[in-house]
Amino acid sequence: MATSQVETVNTGADKAKLAAAVALVIAAVAGFYLLGKQGQIAQWGALVVGLAAAFVVFMTSESGKEFVAFGRDSWKEVKKVVWPTRKEATQMTLYVIAFCAVMALFLWLTDKTLEWAFYDLILGWKK
């Protein structure tokens, strides 16, 4: 059995990149609100440019590279999934709906039976 050991090494440069990405996001949001009098184009431009710069800085960090690798691995796993046919999905949906209806009826009957037993038979509080 092969075991893989995950090691995380956060260098100072990597931490600086992540801090810069966070600072760029904050600056982008602040710029959006501070440029309110300049017009919507300036506001949205500052926001989009700031977020894009933060994205680029994040992707150059080790965490960004790991995120991309995780996305690739996830996509490979999704391709391996055997999805149900339309008929199978419809049948399973109908089974779930029927089970819910039967369970609702069972719980309602149980509730009414207990209500009758406690209030009418034991306590004598006939309605």
CA distances from 64 to 7, 28, 47, 112, 120 (A): 16, 19, 21, 58, 67
pLDDT-derived band at 13 (thresholds 50, 70, 90) equals confident
Q: What is the DSSP string of 36-52?
A: GGG-HHHHHHHHHHHHH
Helix 62-80 × helix 40-60 angle, to 10°: 80
- For the CA atoms of 46, 51, 52, 54, what is the dihedral angle to 10 degrees? 120
For residue range 66-123, list pLDDT tens digits in order.
999 999 999 999 999 999 999 999 999 999 999 999 999 999 999 999 999 988 888 8
Per-residue pLDDT, averaged over 6-24, amounts to 83
Give the global pTM: 0.56
> Where do the structural domains in the chain lie, given as residue ranges?
11-81, 83-127
On the 0-12 / 13-18 / 19+ scale of CB atoms within 10 A, 18 is middle
Res 12: pLDDT: 85
